[in-house]
Structure 1
């Protein structure tokens, strides 16, 4: 999955699909790799996409990526509001994830520890010739471009593909 924490379409995707994705990952039928990009920063200016992606990687260091990922989307500002550029806001949101707001997390966020990784992730997105976020690849196809795709249809696809495993 290629996502930008400032992307409204990503928030809608997460709202609609995360229950099914969580169910499938919890059952071991699906493994999700998140790739974070900075499309909104590049298009509208600012650093909120990069800073939020860095903070999410800091949360990964603490073993709390999934919970913080969800908190970021639940608290996403308007696309034109670069609120995630503010490290204090990202740290405040970490308080919604049990045990995440630690000195190590704060230092990681404030130092931009994973900014270069975020940049490399965005470069890989561009080299992949993807057209926007979210880009959700499953078995070589971008399921988000399939207008007939629903969370239920996606769940059936994964279950059929992993039957007997």
Structure 2
């Protein structure tokens, strides 16, 4: 077998392997979910009395605005020990605008999660999010640069995860679950699995803090002997 043919066969094998990785549902490290089901949520903290599940789309300006507006509130609540945040990554903006930027960015975020660096990576996504119509988040060079800016990410491991499409199938499953639940437009927030009693559009940092405190009291009272 000639050298050129060997290279061609090797390239074809690599393409098949990457295609398989792109459809296999391999959850990133630390993902959580229902018993027996696909683990689609990425937690910021271990289990505590109150869990907020935030459905967010890396390409969505509304998701960016929500994340940045509530960053300080989330930090305070996480530090209080009352709250954990589960991030549920969705990609509905790809259907809205066309292209694949949300899926590429979500898969890269899941690769960052494998190294415990989801939050810093998503902060970089929000800070540098391109206009959604441009679909610039599909550029893996941009995603690689954002991973470097996030810091403390082993670059070779991250690049391999992204290049092999190791989290693409998981991202597709995450979007499918979101769409099937009929939750509407992102951002969507649930508190201990239930919709917030006020629409996200009417939420404020103060209201969210009050809701978390009230839920923590409710859980404590329910657990009391």
Instruction: Trace 1:22-61 onto structure 2 (pairs within 5 A).
Output: 22-61=75-114
Q: Which has the larger radius of gyration?
A: 2
Q: Is the 8 A contact 1:17 1:151 kept in 2?
A: yes
Determine which structure has the larger strand proportion and give its number.
2
- Aligned residue for 1:73, secondary structure, equals helix
Normalised TM-score (structure 1):
0.93
- Aligned residue for 1:137, secondary structure, equals strand
**Structure 1, unpaired ranges of 5+:** none
Aligned equivalent of 2:199: 145
Normalised TM-score (structure 2):
0.69
Alignment partner of 1:159 is 2:213: yes
Q: Is the 8 A contact 1:135 1:144 kept in 2?
A: no
Shift of 1:106: 0.8
Distance, in Å, in 2 between the alignment partners of 1:144 and 1:72 is 27
**Structure 2, unpaired ranges of 5+:** 1-53, 221-225
Aligned length: 165
Q: Deviations over 1:12-56 (max 9, x none)?
A: 101111211122122221111111111111111111100100010
Aligned equivalent of 1:135: 188
Partner of residue 8 from structure 1, selected from 58, 61, 67: 61
Distance, in Å, in 2 between the alignment partners of 1:19 and 1:136 is 16
Aligned-residue CA RMSD (Å): 1.7
Alignment partner of 1:19 is 2:67: no
